[in-house]
Amino acid sequence: MSDDPYASLKLRLDEEHRWPGVYTFKFIMRAEIVPNFSVVLEGHRYTTRHSAEGRHVAITAELFMESSDEVIELYRKAAEFSGVISL
């Protein structure tokens, strides 16, 4: 068994997606994290949606990815931010 927490995700991505292609990323975080987190998606278009109370933000980005490895690389960068939930 692999120690890589992304190993099963890589298998699913390669089974369910064709590469290269568009992949949809979704993240949820506290609103104050967004300015720092935006570096993860720098150079890409994304949308944000605030919760009713305004404390949390959902970010959606549809990005053209070359491979599952590129998807996982972005998830790894996102995981460096405490309080970010990847969907």
pLDDT tens profile 4-25: 889 999 999 999 999 999 999 9
CATH superfamily of 21-86: ACT domain (3.30.70.260)
Comparing CA positions, the residue from 80, 69, 87, 72 lying closest to residue 37 is 80
Q: How many residues belong to the chain?
A: 87
What pLDDT does 2 receive?
62
Angle at the Cα of 27 (from 61 to 46), degrees rounded to 5?
25
- Predicted TM-score (pTM) of the model is 0.89
Locate the domains of the chain by residue range: 21-86
Element (DSSP H or E) covering residue 74: helix 68-79
Contact between 19 and 85 (Cβ < 8 Å): no
